[in-house]
Structure 1
Amino acid sequence: MEIQENTVVTLSYHVRKKDEEGELVDFSGQSYPLRFLFGTGKMLPYFEEQLKGKTHNETFAFRLPADFAYGKKDESLIKTIPIEEFTEKEGYTKETLEVGAYIRYENSEESQSGKIIDKNKKEVKVDFNHPLAGQDLFFKGNIISVRKASFEEIERQHHIEPDGIRFQ
């Protein structure tokens, strides 16, 4: 069976920054493969486009340009926040507000996750871009299986695990 809309795809993969020799950023092996319902919009569209038509046991390797992955880095998503907006009652301490730490920031207008890129005694500079924004990605892997989705999976817009556990 070919990968197409309303099929459940199971695959193993490695994703690296830039090219086949780049830094490994994620992988999913044979023991814990990636499984998803194709065509629901939950995966990157260009990623799905590269897999369409492939079948069981086929391999794949492709570059995903930053524009088709997580986009370019948006400078407006790098924000300077007064340090007093972070309180210990929310779980933030001097130790958790260190450069390189990932944080969750909430105020009355928004809730975002970001990485602290700078800090001084008065403010914290946080990059709220996706960690892979601005990065070309290289995917390489193997199609483990392709099957027709069940009516329930299509209705829910999500696959059902073989052991019956349902993920939302």
Structure 2
Amino acid sequence: MKIEDDMVVQFHYTLKDEQGEVIESSVLQDPIAYLHGHDNMMPGVEDAIHGKNVGDKFSITPAAKDTYGERLPDAEQRVSLKHLTGADKWQPGMSALVNTDQGQRQVTIVKVGKFMATVDLNHPFAGRDLRFDIEVVSARAATDEEIAHGHAHGVGGHQH
């Protein structure tokens, strides 16, 4: 079954850095599920999966702009420590989560004061051309409800 728009696709991935070291992987977890063709996946990954078949395994190294984005040089902001989650004591270089109007956002601590922290808003992988090893594990036609909602439901997708 070829992957096309309006299909729910499940896949496993292993993300590797420029030296081939594993950064993260879904292999020992539930596969990632998304609604293909509805901007629910990084463009570089979705483009590579389009037209593939269930069972296909392949590697890609999309440009940073098609995954985690280009690194923005002036993307720092001061945030109250009470708005950071993920640790009790903060140090430069640590990752934190900040709640925003668009949901949680991962940031990197640049500098810590008594009440405020300077954070880098770039994703930690921004600006990097990373390798994705992908295995397409299943695909099915999306339900009318999934298409109307704009996302996959069930394991690996959105839970209502």
TM-score (norm 1): 0.76
Aligned CA distance change for structure 1 residues 6 and 77 (closer, same or farther; 3 Å): same
Aligned CA distance change for structure 1 residues 123 and 14 (closer, same or farther; 3 Å): same
2:153 aligns with one of 156, 160, 163: 160
**What SS does the corresponding residue of 1:129 show, helix, strand or coil?**
coil
**What SS does the corresponding residue of 1:64 show, helix, strand or coil?**
coil
Structure 2 regions of 5+ residues with no counterpart? none
1:1-150 residue pairs with structure 2 within 5 A?
A: 1-18=1-18, 21-29=19-27, 31-79=29-77, 81=78, 85-86=80-81, 96-104=89-97, 113-119=106-112, 124-150=117-143
Supply the distance in 1 between the matched residues of 2:41 and 2:53 (Cα, whole angstroms). Answer: 18
* Number of residue-to-residue matches in the alignment: 155
RMSD over aligned Cα, in angstroms?
Answer: 3.0
% same residue: 26
After TM superposition, what 4+ stretches of structure 1 lie above 6 angstroms from structure 2? none
- CA drift of 1:98 comes to 1.9
Supply the distance in 1 between the matched residues of 2:99 and 2:58 (Cα, whole angstroms). Answer: 40
**What SS does the corresponding residue of 2:65 show, helix, strand or coil?**
helix
**What SS does the corresponding residue of 1:76 show, helix, strand or coil?**
coil
Structure 1 regions of 5+ residues with no counterpart? none
Contact 1:51–1:60 under 8 Å retained in 2? no
- CA drift of 1:96 comes to 2.3
Supply the distance in 2 between the matched residues of 1:148 and 1:120 (Cα, whole angstroms). Answer: 52
Larger Rg: 1
